[in-house]
């Protein structure tokens, strides 16, 4: 006779896990000695311009609050991957994080619109949309999913970088394994070009490129530089297929614990950091391109028209599958 085995976790283990989560939750928005401390985790390197913007935000919040509020920044995935950080934030165990809006598709479907290819006419149009009523609505779209958007950060335009050959036309993508974020739109876009989309954590991408798990990826110049992916990928093709912004979000569980005055300080500090980051980003892109060229990266500027034509497949599918989202795309394009 075989004795039955109880596979459910012991009560003591459950209690311990609950206690840890409760402790983390308190630590995410603690107020020792009257100072409100907010923990902010993200996955970027400390040399990245978006990290610098977050440090700027932390400094401005401290100044505005007269030392009553502090943001502790944990870079380089110290507290987890992008998805893990959002999940921690949703349960209130982390106060804030920076996340690509592409990765937010699985958390707040409305934000999916910002991942669509060739959505904005130019930089001025993108800023106009994000700082206007459409952008405000998208920042608040996650509140029913336990996070609130504070501001957008410029994450530039995403282009392909590859190991063995440049991408001059969509034909060059066919048969290649291209790393994408956990974004259904990004997956569909690579498929429209004939490639094989392969989700890989950004922190694991360098090794994935080295080992041939993927043949290339797509990102903006500062991220290509600071990640050091250019050491493996020597071809960078500036087709700028998407302009997916970053987003600073705060846990609604944490936001609700703040006083009206604390909320105002935090929102103002975030807005000022966005303005600071836009300028910093433009300078960083120019500097990154210079360093990449000096490092021997072959930079090309393929005709965008063929890529736009193939990307239309994404919109054709969206029009059928999600008419409301397609209507928002049209609203943005005509704004």
**pLDDT, tens digit, 9 for 90 and up, residues 279-304:** 999 999 999 999 999 999 999 999 99
pTM to 2 decimals? 0.84
Alpha-carbon radius of gyration of the chain? 21
Decide which of 269 and 12 is more confident.
269
Residue 239 corresponds to which tokens in the numbers above?
Answer: 């087709």
Helix (H) or strand (E) holding 134: helix 133-140
Residue 33 corresponds to which tokens in the numbers above?
Answer: 């000695």
Instruction: Please tell me the predicted confidence (pLDDT) of residue 4.
Output: 33
For the chain, the domains span 17-100+119-154+245-286, 158-243+288-333
What strands, in cross-sheet order, belong to the sheet with 216-219? 196-199, 177-180, 216-219, 158-162, 235-242, 298-300
Distances (CA, A) of 323 to 112, 121, 216, 298, 326: 13, 22, 32, 41, 5
Identify the CATH class of 17-100+119-154+245-286. Answer: alpha beta
Best CATH choice for the domain 158-243+288-333 from the list 3.40.190.170, 3.40.50.300, 2.60.120.260, 3.90.550.10: 3.40.190.170
Q: What's the pLDDT tens digit per position in 75-87? A: 999 999 988 999 9
DSSP-assigned beta bridge partners for residue 100: 246
Residue 176 to residue 292: CA distance in whole angstroms: 23
Count how many Cα atoms sit within 13 Å of the Cα of residue 237 in the half-sphere of its side chain: 22
Instruction: Please tell me the predicted confidence (pLDDT) of residue 183.
Output: 86
Phi-psi group of 77: left, alpha or beta (phi > 0 → left; psi -120 to 50 → alpha; rest → beta): left
Same CATH fold assignment for domains 17-100+119-154+245-286 and 158-243+288-333: yes
- The residue count for the chain: 335
Instruction: Please tell me the predicted confidence (pLDDT) of residue 5.
Output: 30
Phi, psi of 120 (to 5 degrees): -100, 145
């Amino acid at each position: 006779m075989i004795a039955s085995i109880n596979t459910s976790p012991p009560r003591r283990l459950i209690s311990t896990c609950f206690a840890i989560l409760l402790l983390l939750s308190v630590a995410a928005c603690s107020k020792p000695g009257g100072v409100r401390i907010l923990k902010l985790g993200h996955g970027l390197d400390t040399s990245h311009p978006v990290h610098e913007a977050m440090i700027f935000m932390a400094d401005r919040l401290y100044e505005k609050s007269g030392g009553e509020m502090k943001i502790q920044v944990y870079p380089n995935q110290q507290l987890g991957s992008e998805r893990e950080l959002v999940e921690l934030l949703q349960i209130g165990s982390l106060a804030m994080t920076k996340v690509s809006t592409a990765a937010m598709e699985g958390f707040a479907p409305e934000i999916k619109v910002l991942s669509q290819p060739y959505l904005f006419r130019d930089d001025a149009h993108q800023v106009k949309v994000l700082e206007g009523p459409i952008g405000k609505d998208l920042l608040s779209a996650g509140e029913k999913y336990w996070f609130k958007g504070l501001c957008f950060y410029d994450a530039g335009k995403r282009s392909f970088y590859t190991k063995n050959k440049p991408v001059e036309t969509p034909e060059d993508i066919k048969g290649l394994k291209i790393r994408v974020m956990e974004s259904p739109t990004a997956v569909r876009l690579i498929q429209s070009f004939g490639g094989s989309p392969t989700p890989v954590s950004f922190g694991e991408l360098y090794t994935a490129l080295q080992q041939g798990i993927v043949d290339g990826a797509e990102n903006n110049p500062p991220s290509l530089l600071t990640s050091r992916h250019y050491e493996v990928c020597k071809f960078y093709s500036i087709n700028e297929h998407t302009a997916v912004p970053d987003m600073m979000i705060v846990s609604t569980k944490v936001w609700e614990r703040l006083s009206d005055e604390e909320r105002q300080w935090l929102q103002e500090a975030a807005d000022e950091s966005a303005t600071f980051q836009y300028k910093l980003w433009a300078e960083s892109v120019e500097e990154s391109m210079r360093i990449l060229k000096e490092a021997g990266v072959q930079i090309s500027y393929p005709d965008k028209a063929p890529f736009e034509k193939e990307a239309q497949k994404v919109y054709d599918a969206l029009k059928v599958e999600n008419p409301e989202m397609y209507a928002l795309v049209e609203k943005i394009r005509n704004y």
